[in-house]
């Protein structure tokens, strides 16, 4: 990868999440071969950083739900948004296989 990070950024104000314990989940589909081992997720205001790791251990060529739980002390501010990142350091040395992300969900 010629760049250090690929970012997917939602519009500012796209998130309206209450304070409290939240479940963040997404469906991921990994092709055969070596894949990125982590997906970094940031909820921006207030800032919460999450990492979905060990992706290389997941089944291939089928949709799999990955999830984590986080506690957020405050509700979303007016400009809250989500950023998904794939970092060069988390990729295999050789060409990485395709993967897809769908159905990102945040629930209280």
Domains in the chain (CATH in brackets) are 5-107 (2.60.120.260)
Which tens digit of pLDDT belongs to each residue from 29-86? Answer: 999 888 889 999 999 999 999 999 999 999 999 999 999 999 999 999 999 999 999 9
Which residue, 81, 83, 104, 106, is CA-closest to 11?
A: 81
| Measured CA angle at 58 (ends 98, 5), to 5 deg | 45
> What pTM, to 2 d.p., does this model score?
0.90
C-beta separation of 108 from 22 below 8 A: yes
Question: Phi, psi (5° rounding) for residue 24?
Answer: -110, 125
Residue by residue, DSSP assigns 30-47 as E-SS---S-EEEEEETTE
Helix (H) or strand (E) run with residue 21 in it: strand 20-30
């Amino acid at each position: 990868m010629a760049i250090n990070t690929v970012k997917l950024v939602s519009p500012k104000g796209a998130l309206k999440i209450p304070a409290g314990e939240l479940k963040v989940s997404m469906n991921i589909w990994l092709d055969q071969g070596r894949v990125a081992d982590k997906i970094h997720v940031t909820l921006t205001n207030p800032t919460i950083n999450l990492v979905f790791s060990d992706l290389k251990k997941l089944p291939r060529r089928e949709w799999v739900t990955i999830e984590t739980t986080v506690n957020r002390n405050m509700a979303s501010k007016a400009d809250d948004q989500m950023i998904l990142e794939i970092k060069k350091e988390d990729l295999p040395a050789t060409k990485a296989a395709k993967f897809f992300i769908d159905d990102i969900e945040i629930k209280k």
